[in-house]
Each structure stands twice: as structure tokens, then as C-alpha cells.
A = this chain, B = another copy of it.
Amino acid sequence: MNKQVTSDGTVGKALELLDMVVAFGRSVRFSEVLEVSPYPKATTHRLLQTLTNQGMLAFDDERHVYVPGMRLVRIARHAWNQSSLGPLALPFLQTLAADVKETVHLAQMEHGRVVFVEKTTPDEGFKTMATPGRRSPAHCTGVGKVMLAFMDDTRRAAALECQTYEAFTPNTHKSEKTLLPELAQIRAEGVAFDREEHEEGIISIAAPILGGSNRVIGSLSVVTSTFRMSLKDIEKFRPALQRTAAQIGGEAAVWPYPIAQ
């Protein structure tokens, strides 16, 4: 089992480029892709052509830009409905957000990183870095730490391998040294706190979503800012948070969602 996995073969390279193009979040020119592509010009070009041929990208030959293609869009629609917790969890999130009157995040884990799947704000609150579809590191977020804490040992080991320990604030964990003990504590407590580890002024309380066989399939958090509440204050969200996480987990148990890894 490859632990790091960067690319296997042409398929890996092509998907890497696809990911890059899509991640731009807008239409891109060939040269822009080339700049971030680790492959030589000819190769990059050919791979993009292949992806375009396959309908995963579309090339606008008037503006000379690449955009996600219809085939990807179609697959996207299926994959989203089928494998993201989003559609299933959204009603629960809304109830919770209305209940606690704070922002609620739903996340899943991809290869040691947190993917924000859905987000609900009760009012039009402040904005955080999290946007649905965005990826963040796991070591510095409530949703990330709680998933790490509750996944099984093998997966956790693999996920920890991928952590970069990038320091976003003074509170960010700098290495396993401090992270591992906290994970143990989170496991004991059942919830994780983000103590301004990703963004200054932003704190959260997070609970794991456990599917069948108690495997972690995602996590849920209530997010707020230090201007409005303290770490102590947000502890009161715990019952509602855990109840909602359990409800989502119950709904999801019958369906094999991807396991956090």
C-alpha cells in the first residue's frame, strides 16, 4: 500500500491536472495550467487534450480557456448525491444551525485533509475560510481533529503521515508531539475544540459522525468567533451537536459512504 500516493501512471497525472484545472474555480488558459503543472509543456498539453476529448474538460475555442466539461458535471451530480453526506445531512444541519444560532460545518476527510462538504449559517454571519468543496489541513481544525481522533489506528497512522503541520496561528499544533495527546483526550471527551488554530478569532466545537460499524464518515461542528463567545460558552452546544451527529450517522448507517482516510 502506497502511503503517500502522488501519481500512478498516466491516469494519476491526468487526474492531477483535472484537479488543478477545477481547483482554479474559473476558466483557465493553457499557460496558466502549465505554470502549476509539474509536467513538460508537450505532456501537459496532451493530457489536457485527452481530458477534453473525454469530456471531463471543455475547451472554449473562442476564449481559449479550459472549463470543467459536461461529462464531469454529469458524474459530479451523481457522485455528489451518492457519496457526499451533503444532501442527506443538510436538513439536520439547518435545524442545528437554527437551534444554536451559529454557523454549522459538515466535513468529510480525503487523504488526511478536511473537505468542507456543506455549511449553514443561521443569519448572514461572518465568513470563514471554509467554502463547500474547499480543502483544509486536518491538524488545525475541529472537524479534522475529531475525525483523526475517532478513525481506526491504521487509517489514523496513514492520515497523520499526510499532515504538514503548517502553522496558521500561534495556537496551531506544530507536530505530532502535541497533537497526539489531544487526540486521545478528544476520544475520551467525545468532542474536539478548535482554539483559534486555523484562523485567529475563530473557534469551534466538533463531533464525529459515525456510520455503520462505528466508522468515521464525517464530522460536524458549530463555529463562532471569539468576539461573540468564549471556548467555555460553546461547550453548551455539545448536546445538540452530538445529537445531530448521531442522527446523521443513523441515517447514513445503511449506506456505505466513503470512510474517512
Q: Which residues of A contact B (CB under 8 A)?
A: 2, 5, 8-12, 14-15, 18-19, 22-23, 25-27, 47, 50-51, 53-56, 58, 60, 62-63, 65, 67-84, 108-111, 115, 117, 131-133, 135, 212-213, 215, 255-259, 261
Residue among A67, A72, A76, A213 with most chain B CB within 10 A: A76
- On chain B, the residues within 8 Å of A19 by CB distance are 71, 75
**Sample (8) of A-B pairs whose CB atoms are under 8 Å apart:** A9-B10, A23-B78, A25-B78, A27-B256, A65-B256, A68-B78, A73-B115, A81-B133
Q: Known interface pairs A2-B53, A68-B82, A256-B67. Does A117 touch B73 (Cβ–Cβ under 8 Å)?
A: yes
Partner pick for A70 among B14, B53, B258, CB 8 A cutoff? B258
- Whether A67 pairs with B258 at a CB distance below 8 angstroms is yes
State how many angstroms separate the Cβ of A127 from the closest Cβ of chain B. Answer: 11
- Whether A70 pairs with B109 at a CB distance below 8 angstroms is yes
- Whether A80 pairs with B70 at a CB distance below 8 angstroms is no
Give bound CA distance, A71 to B5, whole Å. Answer: 13
- Whether A256 pairs with B81 at a CB distance below 8 angstroms is no
Q: How many copies does the complex hold?
A: 2
Give bound CA distance, A117 to B72, whole Å. Answer: 12
Partner pick for A83 among B58, B84, B212, CB 8 A cutoff? B58
Residue among A2, A22, A63, A73 with most chain B CB within 10 A: A73
State how many angstroms separate the Cβ of A152 from the closest Cβ of chain B. Answer: 11
- Whether A77 pairs with B27 at a CB distance below 8 angstroms is no
Give bound CA distance, A15 to B135, whole Å. Answer: 23
Q: Known interface pairs A67-B83, A81-B131, A117-B73. Does A56 touch B15 (Cβ–Cβ under 8 Å)?
A: yes
- Whether A11 pairs with B54 at a CB distance below 8 angstroms is yes
Partner pick for A69 among B12, B23, B258, CB 8 A cutoff? B258
- On chain B, the residues within 8 Å of A258 by CB distance are 58, 60, 67-70, 73
Partner pick for A110 among B65, B74, B81, B135, CB 8 A cutoff? B74
